[in-house]
Amino acid sequence: MDDFKEVQVTYELPLDGDGFLRRQCPTCDQQFKWHDGPANEEAEQHADADVYYCPLCGSPAEADHWFTDDQVDFIQGEVHKAAMPKLDELLDGVFKGLSGPNIKVKRTGHLETPVGPDPLVEDDDMVIVASPCHGFEPVKVPDGWSQTIHCLVCGERFAV
């Protein structure tokens, strides 16, 4: 099954008009957005963080644990689409291996490659806020959010 690792999946998550990517906190399940890539020159000088803090509840999580439910469905759809032809090829090999001098095993069906998922759409909702401590890493919080906000980078609370 070593070949299976070679399946490459490319997918693109849409950004909103301001260059922000929708995220979902793995702890509180609420959604916010962070800026995709460095927001400005100062941000470029900082290495990507390994851990980010949820602006809404303040819980930390690793940088790749912030996909929304829709993004997870979308990526899984892309993975299925990319993996199916490879799986089909592997099955062919399995069937050939089953045949011997006195036995013929013939495969009649094929796995169908699923159609890719519908592309995601990103609305220009939510409001931009920048923390006093790490202002180069702005986030977007839901419209009307009135509670304190946590800095994405260090988790420090601040009010807007």
Compute the least distance from the CB of residue 16 to Zn ion, in Å.
Answer: 20
Name which position in 133, 148, 157, 160 contacts Zn ion (CB under 5 A): 133
CB 32 within 8 A of CB 126: yes
Contact 26, 61 (CB under 8 A): yes
List 7, 57, 98, 105, residue binding Zn ion (CB under 5 A) = 57
Phi, psi angles (nearest 5°) of residue 41: -65, -35
Question: How many residues are present in the chain?
Answer: 160
Among 43, 61, 83, 154, binds Zn ion (CB under 5 A): 154
Closest approach of Cβ 135 to Zn ion, in Å?
A: 8
Size of the site for Zn ion (CB under 5 A): 13
Contacts of Zn ion in 13-52 (CB under 5 A): 25, 27-28
Closest listed residue to residue 129, CA positions, set 96, 156, 93: 156
* DSSP run (H or E) holding 33: strand 31-35
* Site for Zn ion, rule CB under 5 A: 25, 27-28, 54, 56-57, 131, 133-134, 151, 153-154, 156
